Amino acid sequence: MTSKKRSKFGQDNLAGFLMSLPGLLLLILFVVIPFLTAVFLSFFNVDFNMVGGPKFWGFENYRRILVDPISSPSFYKALLNNFTFALIVVPAQTALAVLLAVMLNAKLRGIAFFRTFFFMPVVFPMSLVAIIWALMFSRDSLGMLNGLLNLISFGQIQPIDWLGDPNIALLSIALLSVWAGVGFQMVIVLAGLQEIPHELYEAANLDRANAWQRFWNVTIPGLRNTLVFVVIITTIFSLRLFDQVYILTQGGPIDATQTVMLQAVTSAFVEGNVGKASAITVIFVLIIIVLTLIQRLFLKQNREVK
């Protein structure tokens, strides 16, 4: 840095500060203040319509969520479900998004139609998607999915209880979520694909690289930053899993699809227990901060390589 630049720095700083002010204010208003309120409320026995006002009771909410033998297993199960879900959905959705994007990047007549078609589920509200899938997931032979399996297996595959079997329910939710969400990632990857310079492919052709080699050595490295972004955003999406389970299973069967967000919402808006809900969200935010720090570390290394 030269001294000339340094003298300008103060002004830049002020302008930068002013320009970021609206954003900062919104962040403080909608993220920082609610979070601090949640931290504060999590130390109280407090709920909607409470007579006599909140009562301070220290770490009791945290004890119940994290330690209590009756109520804590449900939270750990929810956390485990969140991570299992992310582990299934993030790789599956990312891989599928790349596959679809490469296919839809082909220069064919009417390709815009197909792109629109695959993007469509993203436009539908999740509530609508979940209702439709509830019919497809029906556990009897009338269910569309069971009917299809029965048909193609000539009656060999017996009806599966997609949402009622504790071993399958989370997978069913994941299947629905990938279908509903993959279009979004696909569009991002598609944009990434179009950023890759065409010369690289020409050079690869000159080197007599086949399609697979071109994909592995040109497309994937070219998509690197896009993919990092896609993975991060998919992880965030999958950690806040809520709508599908709220509509389809309400956390059941036997907590198989319980999620942290579902527990927080149920505590606050069904049971009216604001203290417990606040404590759940505070714990969850701390977990997400840790995850973000890990991901930042990963991203930094990526930049250093560059």
Partner 1 sequence: MKFKKVSATASALAAIALGFGAISPAHAASAQEITVWAMCSEVGEIAAAKEQVAAFNGFYDGQYHATLTCKADMGTAIKSTSVGQLPSVFEFDGENLAAYVYAGKLHQLDGVVPASVFNNELVSIQAEGTYKDGHKYSVSQYDSGLGLFASKKMLKAAGINDVPTSYKNAWTATRFTAVLKALAAKASGKKAIDIKENYGMGPGWPGYAFTPIVNSAGYQIVTNNKAVGALDSTAVVNAFKTFASWKPYVDPSSDDKAFENGRVGLAWVGHWQYPALSAKLGSDLAVLPLPDFGVGSKSGQGSHSWSISANTTGAELAASNVFLQYIMKDQWILNVTDQNGAVPATKTALNKSVNYRKGGPLQLYADQLSASCGTAKPTKACVTVPRTISAAWPVINTAFGTAVQTIWNGGDAKTALHTAAVTIDQDYTDHSGY
Residues within the interface to partner 1 (CB under 8 A): 45, 48-51, 70-71, 134-135, 138-143, 164-166, 249-255, 266, 269-273
Min dist CB 175 to partner 1, Å, is: 17
Strand positions, DSSP E, 34-158: 44-45, 55-56
Nearer to partner 1, 140 or 199 (CB): 140
CA distance 103 to 97: 10
Of 44 and 184, nearer to partner 1 (C-beta) is 44
Q: How far apart are CA 12 and CA 16, in angstroms?
A: 6
Select 182 or 255, whichever has its Cβ closest to partner 1. 255
Residue 264 identity (one-letter amino acid): A
Q: What count of other Cβ atoms lies within 10 Å of the Cβ of residue 142?
A: 10
Angle between helix axes 126-136 and 169-195 (nearest 10 degrees) is: 130
What is the DSSP-derived secondary structure letter of residue 56? E
Tokens at residue 119, please? Answer: 């993007």
Q: Provide the greatest CA pair distance for the chain.
A: 80
> How far apart are CB 149 and partner 1 at their closest, in Å?
16
Q: Of the candidates 171, 175, 169, which has an alpha carbon nearest to the alpha carbon of residue 254?
A: 169
- Among residues 222 and 272, whose Cβ is nearest to partner 1? 272
Please report how close the Cβ of residue 176 comes to partner 1 at its closest, in angstroms. 15
User: Which is closer to partner 1, CB of 162 or CB of 184?
Assistant: 162
Q: Which is nearer to partner 1, 269 or 298 (by Cβ)? A: 269
CB of 124 to partner 1, least distance (A): 20
User: What is the SS3 string spanning 166-202?
Assistant: CCCHHHHHHHHHHHHHHHHHHHHHHHHHHHCCHHHHH
Q: Closest distance between partner 1 and the C-beta of residue 47, in Å?
A: 8
Q: How far is the CB of 143 from partner 1 (least distance, A)?
A: 6
Of 141, 181, 132, nearest to 161 (Cα)?
141
